[in-house]
Amino acid sequence: QSVLTQPPSVSGAPGQRVTISCTGSSSNIGAGYDVHWYQQLPGTAPKLLIYGNTNRPSGVPDRFSGSKSGTSASLAITGLQAEDEADYYCQSYDNSLSAVVFGGGTKLTVL
């Protein structure tokens, strides 16, 4: 059971928009800790996708965006492409556990 809750799966057709939620609590996201997002393509290492809630590293397309409100964060992907099919993870810090925490991951399927 992950401290940060993500939907196990989401799907969308090419060109559509999908969102992935990351729900935490008052000891992590709600306490003001930043949320980062990672993309893990099949058989590869994770890749940083969004950092500090809303920021994209150089090279990440602007089709990917992040937001945060209260005890939750979201990753939005617009103009879905087949290459976006991957697992997505949110990450934050939890002060009651004194630990870095990840969400359980969301598998994105492009129909």
Partner 1 sequence: EVQLVESGGGLVQPGGSLRLSCAASGFTFSSYWMTWVRQPPGKGLEWVTNVNQDGSEKYYVDSVKGRFTISRDTANNSLYLQMNSLRVEDTAVYYCARLAHITARPSDYWGQGTLVTVSS
* Site of interaction with partner 1 (CB under 8 A): 2, 33-34, 36, 38, 40, 44-48, 51-52, 57, 87, 89, 91-93, 97-105
State the pairing for strand pair 86-94/36-40.
Answer: antiparallel
State which residue, 13 or 42, has the beta carbon closest to partner 1: 42
Distance between CA atoms of 102 and 111, rounded to whole angstroms? 26
Q: Which is nearer to partner 1, 13 or 45 (CB)?
A: 45
CB 3 within 8 A of CB 97: yes
Task: Tell me the two tokens of residue 64.
Answer: 């990917």
3-class secondary-structure state, position 25: coil
Query: In whole angstroms, how close is the CB of 34 to partner 1 at the nearest point?
Result: 4
Question: Which CB atom, from 24 or from 105, has the smaller least distance to partner 1?
Answer: 105
CB of 73 to partner 1, least distance (A): 12
71: buried, middle or exposed (CB in 10 Å: 19+, 13-18, 0-12)? middle
Question: CB-wise, 16 or 55, nearer to partner 1?
Answer: 55
Least distance to partner 1, CB of residue 79, Å: 24
